[in-house]
Amino acid sequence: MIPAAPAPQHAPVPATPPTPRWQQLWRDAVRDPRELLAQLGLDAVAGGLGLSDDAAVQFPLRVPQGFIARMRHGDPHDPLLRQVLPLDAEMQPMPGFSLDAVGDGAAKAGHGVIRKYRGRALLIATGSCAIHCRYCFRRHFPYAEETAAAAGWRDAVDAIAADAGIDEVILSGGDPWSLATPKLAELTDALAQVPHLKRLRIHTRLPVVLPERVDEALLAWLSALPWPVTVVLHANHANEFDPAVDAALARLRGAGALLLNQAVLLRGVNDSVDALAALSERGHAAGVLPYYLHQLDRVQGSAHFEVPDDVALQLHRELAARLSGYLVPKLVREVAGDPGKRPLTYA
Ligand code: SF4
């Protein structure tokens, strides 16, 4: 009997890891304002929206499909649409509105590191976001030169390690969870070597605008971190929550994260007691406690969102009269040079 020829030996083909679904959804985000309006059944010209191509060039539109699905079809005043649509009003220079409204430049303490408040270091992890919010106080931030990831983590981690007075690191951006999970792990592995760190805080809008980001890899990374982790979300309106967001937030809580929300008080988005109460109640139903309600940071291009202080205080007073205390966020403003967020107080 003739022995069978041995099967040919092939060198193993290295497996290419599949692209996580959230990254595909990220790439599918809408970037053309007219496409966004068409999806919502709105006409850019006839609608009298004040759409601005110049504003879209200065700060491009970006919005994931899942967030568009939460906008009201045919409503040019939809509070989610208003947060992302580039408008003529952004291009009108306004006195008192600057490129760096919160003094980030003066507080730089290393490559991608900002020191403002005692005990805390804020790390500009990346300049990328899944959504571009028109009122963003970092819309003019020089991310190309100032992100810790772009420069390699070493500079930022060394700056944090060199200051034993820092016990909390805040991952910010941009949105830190726009980084791939292995890249996040590189950073936290390096930070884990810094003995004086006791807490990690993550400021992110991704679980709200692209809940698919909260995948198994992110949860495994989160669960393995050596510090208590607080995730400060950013939602401005109750309509930003849906079942997919609820499920993502439940997964984050299951991984041990404390969930807080910070919102910005925005004219035409949430400047009513009903809208603010609904935001607190909807967030709480999803396991998120309200933390801050920020007065707008006066960055160029955002003036049309501003709510006067007296109106903000009246809204806050009425909110406090309506809701349980733990559902009432602190009404604050960031003032460059202050040792913490400055509360707005009644006269
Ligand atoms: S997600 Fe945050 S950092 Fe990004 S554009 Fe919106 S407000 Fe700015």
One-letter amino acid at 105 equals G
| CATH 3.20.20.70 in the chain, residue ranges | 105-343
Q: Is the pLDDT of residue 3 over 60?
A: no
One-letter amino acid at 330 equals K
Task: Return the pLDDT at 100.
Answer: 85
Non-local (6+) Cβ contacts of 222 within 8 A are: 229, 252, 255, 256, 257
Q: Is the pLDDT of residue 13 over 80?
A: no
Highest mean pLDDT among 2-6, 14-18, 26-30: 26-30
Can you give 240-298 as a three-state secondary structure string? HCCHHHHHHHHHHHHCCCEEEEEEECCCCCCCCHHHHHHHHHHHHHCCCEEEEEECCCC
CA 5 / ligand 1 centre spacing (Å) = 63
Q: Among 84, 131, 141, 178, say which to mutate for ligand 1: greatest number of ligand atoms within 8 Å of CB.
A: 131
d(CA 164, CA 174): 26
Q: Which residue, by CA, sits nearest to atom 8 of ligand 1? A: 136
Largest CA distance in the chain: 102
Would you place residue 14 in the very low, low, confident or very high pLDDT band (cuts 50, 70, 90)?
low
Average pLDDT over residues 259-283: 98
Task: Return the pLDDT at 1.
Answer: 43
Percentage, residues of the chain above pLDDT 70: 95
Query: Among all chains, which residue has been given the structure tokens 């993502």?
Result: 248
Percentage, residues of the chain above pLDDT 90: 80
Q: For the chain, what is the mean pLDDT?
A: 92
Task: Return the pLDDT at 347.
Answer: 65
Lowest mean pLDDT among 9-23, 215-229, 267-281, 293-307: 9-23
d(CA 162, CA 166): 9
Strand order of the β-sheet with 168-172 is 108-110, 113-114, 120-124, 168-172, 199-204, 229-234, 258-264, 289-294, 330-333, 342-343
CA 12 / ligand 1 centre spacing (Å) = 43
Average pLDDT over residues 184-204: 97
How many CA atoms, within 13 angstroms, populate the side-chain half-sphere of residue 329? 33
Q: Among 175, 269, 296, say which to mutate for ligand 1: greatest number of ligand atoms within 8 Å of CB.
A: 175
| pTM for this prediction | 0.92
Average pLDDT over residues 17-26: 91
- CA distance readout (Å), 304 to 20, 38, 184, 286, 314: 37, 24, 36, 30, 20
Task: Return the pLDDT at 4.
Answer: 52
85 within ligand 1 shell (Cβ under 6 A): no
Q: Which residue has the higher pLDDT, 334 or 140?
A: 334
203 within ligand 1 shell (Cβ under 6 A): no
251 within ligand 1 shell (Cβ under 6 A): no
Residues 73-130 have pLDDT tens digits of 999 999 999 999 999 999 998 999 988 887 877 777 778 899 989 999 999 999 999 9
Q: Among 104, 209, 231, 234, say which to mutate for ligand 1: greatest number of ligand atoms within 8 Å of CB.
A: 234
Rounded to 5°, the CA angle 148-152-105 comes to 25
Would you place residue 47 in the very low, low, confident or very high pLDDT band (cuts 50, 70, 90)?
low
Task: Return the pLDDT at 32.
Answer: 97
Would you place residue 10 in the very low, low, confident or very high pLDDT band (cuts 50, 70, 90)?
low
174 within ligand 1 shell (Cβ under 6 A): yes
Q: Is the pLDDT of residue 312 over 90?
A: yes
One-letter amino acid at 317 equals R
129 within ligand 1 shell (Cβ under 6 A): yes
Task: Return the pLDDT at 132.
Answer: 97
Would you place residue 11 in the very low, low, confident or very high pLDDT band (cuts 50, 70, 90)?
low
Non-local (6+) Cβ contacts of 240 within 8 A are: 67, 70, 80, 208, 209
CATH 3.20.20.70 fits 105-343, yes or no: yes
Would you place residue 2 in the very low, low, confident or very high pLDDT band (cuts 50, 70, 90)?
very low
Q: Is the pLDDT of residue 147 over 50?
A: yes
CA 342 / ligand 1 centre spacing (Å) = 21
Closest CA to 299 of 35, 31, 104: 104
CA 222 / ligand 1 centre spacing (Å) = 21
| Whether the Cβ atoms of residue 332 and residue 338 lie closer than 8 Å to each other | no
136 within ligand 1 shell (Cβ under 6 A): yes
138 within ligand 1 shell (Cβ under 6 A): yes
